[in-house]
Amino acid sequence: MSTRQSLEQQPQSFSPQSLSGKGTPLRDRIFMWALFLALAVGVFTLAVLLIYVTVKGWPRLDLRLITNMPSVRDPENAGAQSALTGSIWVITFTALIALPMGIMAALYLEEFARPSSKFQRFIEVNIQNLAAVPSIVYGILGLAVFARALALGQSVITASMTLALLVLPVIIISTREALRAVPRSIRDGSLALGATEWQTAYRQTLPAAVPGIATGTILALSRAIGEAAPLLLLGAVSFITFNPDGVLSNYTTMPIQIFNWTKESREEFQILAAATIVLLLVILLAMNFIAIWIRNRTQKRW
Partner 1 sequence: MSTPDEVTLKLSSSMLRHGSELPLHARETVFSLDDVSVFYGDYEAIRNVTLPIGKNEITAFIGPSGCGKSTLLRSFNRMNDLIPGARVQGTVAYHGTDIYGPDVDPIEVRRRVGMVFQKPNVFPKSIYENVAYGPKVNGIKGNYDDLVEECLTRAALWNEVKDDLKKSAYALSGGQQQRLVIARCIAVRPDVILMDEPCASLDPIATAKIEDLMGELAKDYTIVIVTHNMQQAARVSDRTAFFTAELDDNGIRHGRLVEFGPTRELFSSPSDKRTEDYISGRFG
Residue ranges in contact with partner 1 by CB under 8 A: 114-116, 183, 185-196, 199, 203-204, 207-208, 300-301
Q: Least separation, in Å, of the C-beta of 208 and partner 1? A: 5
Closer to partner 1 by Cβ: residue 241 or 296: 296
Task: List phi, psi (to 5°) of 133.
Answer: -70, 135
Residue among 52, 230, 75, 208 at smallest CA distance from 140:
230
Cα separations in angstroms, 8 against 11, 19, 71, 246, 249: 7, 19, 88, 85, 86
Toward partner 1, which CB reaches closer, 26 or 193? 193
Residue 111 CB, nearest approach to partner 1 (Å): 11
Judged by beta carbon, residue 100 or residue 207, the one nearer partner 1 is 207
Q: 193: which residues sit within 8 A by CB, 6+ positions away?
A: none
Q: What is the DSSP letter of 62?
A: S
Give the nearest distance from C-beta 200 to partner 1 in angstroms: 8
Q: How far is the CB of 295 from partner 1 (least distance, A)?
A: 15
Chain-centre distance of CA 209, in angstroms?
Answer: 18
Q: Hey, how many other C-beta atoms are within 10 angstroms of the C-beta on 237?
A: 17
Q: What is the rounded distance in angstroms from the CA atom of residue 50 to the CA atom of residue 197?
A: 49
Nearest-angstrom CA–CA distance, 202 and 101? 15
CB of residue 236 to partner 1, shortest distance in Å: 43
Q: Which residue's CB is nearer to partner 1, number 23 or number 115?
A: 115
Q: What minimum distance in Å lies between the beta carbon of 140 and partner 1?
A: 40
- d(CA 147, CA 159) in angstroms, rounded, equals 9
Nearest residue (CB) to partner 1, 117 versus 126: 117
Q: Least distance to partner 1 from the beta carbon of 38, Å?
A: 38
- 3-state percent helix, strand, coil for the chain, nearest multiple of 5: 75, 0, 25
For residues 25 and 207, which CB has a smaller minimum distance to partner 1 in the complex?
Answer: 207
**Shortest Å, Cβ 193 to partner 1:** 4
Question: Toward partner 1, which CB reaches closer, 18 or 299?
Answer: 299
Does residue 241 contact residue 71 with C-beta atoms inside 8 Å?
Answer: yes
Q: Which is nearer to partner 1, 149 or 193 (CB)?
A: 193
CA torsion angle for 49, 55, 59, 62 (degrees, to 10)? 60
- Neighbour count for residue 169 (Cβ, 10 Å): 21
Listed in order, strand segments (DSSP E) in 47-181 are: none
